[in-house]
Structure 1
């Protein structure tokens, strides 16, 4: 038992170190205040009806960027690079909302760092208790396990992650390699594209939205299988890794709380508390609800990952979107 507790504590320290690195390196999208006139082809993905993108189109109309070509892409119709005329390609999911200056900032970032791909993780807007117990888990798990700055600093496919919600490409590179067209539409597609960009020796970057791009207000939906699939991406869709993570992150603190003296719990629980505070500030969420709801969020994490593992093992649909 003491070996297990030490293992849990070491893993907790490692996760805290990654979170601290993310907090200090501050991988957020900035509003840089620069202006550009490059033409941007904006491709909006909808699942069924074009009306799904109405709020996003309204936020685009309120932008200060007018050099846009807007294409609505149905999930049933494949996208072709021949349709676009822009110097840059911006792929957005229909449930995203843009704030003023966002497109200018995308172009500035790509130009300054000579990027072929820039992915931005939208800030969340969640409504209701259940939604706040489930959706913040994506940011919590990612920022505890993955040092985002290394996506740009280390040009190796192992340091690859991306958000399907926002993918911004240099059009010249995209037309040459056609990454989006070469990858199947599933939960891991954005990550696979980021890996392919790096395999070509080109640069990619991923940043947090920093309130410049939002996910529209979300309530908990009955079908959370696609969401659990996105959580599994943090473990490279590996069932064993996901199970070990749950044992160390969820079961571990429970065992420590039972076995250790209260005075010895100050360190592990303090690290958990500080991690939740840092991930909340990084993802532009209020830290108090995340701290108070932490036990319920961990329960939700167990249910989500095990539901995905069950489907992956017994029906093979856990990674489909």
Structure 2
């Protein structure tokens, strides 16, 4: 837990900026600075933000307030980003944040795939902060920004045809077929995902759902070391999206854990279908440094996706996960 106040300062600094830039790209700064603070690097937060600042855009204009009566019509409308963030700002000011999260999680979960899964990842970082320390105003506002981003970019998938899967998460990811055409961005590719292997679909017990989700995060993180060369940035989300869901589980009722597992699996498998290469590349570093050293290397590298994958790798905590983080540093360009 960051007790320096630096994370709150950074979040306040960022809340004057929008959640996106250039019409579609995500503002990763809130997620990255939370990861830095969570791993004892609060002293580096403002310096990292200074380097990232040229990617920030002004907060978007408001159109019409979202209310309890009109929200269905605004769901999934990115033109209403500011309206949604304002709505959730009022919600977390008037109600306990866990109550707000519990009310909206099942409404938002079917649209986990919008915004290239970044909204749920931002929510996962915000929830971790609230679970680890006091619910300060900047941290509550960060949850509101994340939930508002998710609501505005809410995007469900069409029904998927079930394919044969496997018992273990790693084998199920290996069974994911690649989409036929690999051109276009995330939204265009997502439309081509029409069938995915079945994995953990019959899980109904909350504890089993938690354990299976933990297994999925581990498998997807390990897999990056061998498959990350297919698309070094987008394949990060095969691990970080389900990990965001996993981070949110302790704040949610147990009844929501099994459907959360299913949504997380679909997200991880869909990213795999869209970006994973046909063949792995053997990646075996001679020696894996300590977790602290790996995170320091991620900070020195500076790329936001490297920092976020390393953050997830430290959650997994084993040598293959740390090796995946090192692989991300090799594959990803350092920020200019």
The answer to whether the superposition gives a TM-score over 0.5 is no
TM-score by length of 2: 0.23
TM-score by length of 1: 0.24
Q: Relative contact order (alpha carbons < 8 A, sep ≥ 6): 1 or 2 greater?
A: 1
Q: Which has the higher strand share?
A: 1
If you compute each CA radius of gyration, which structure gives the higher value, 1 or 2?
1
Q: Which has the higher helix share?
A: 2
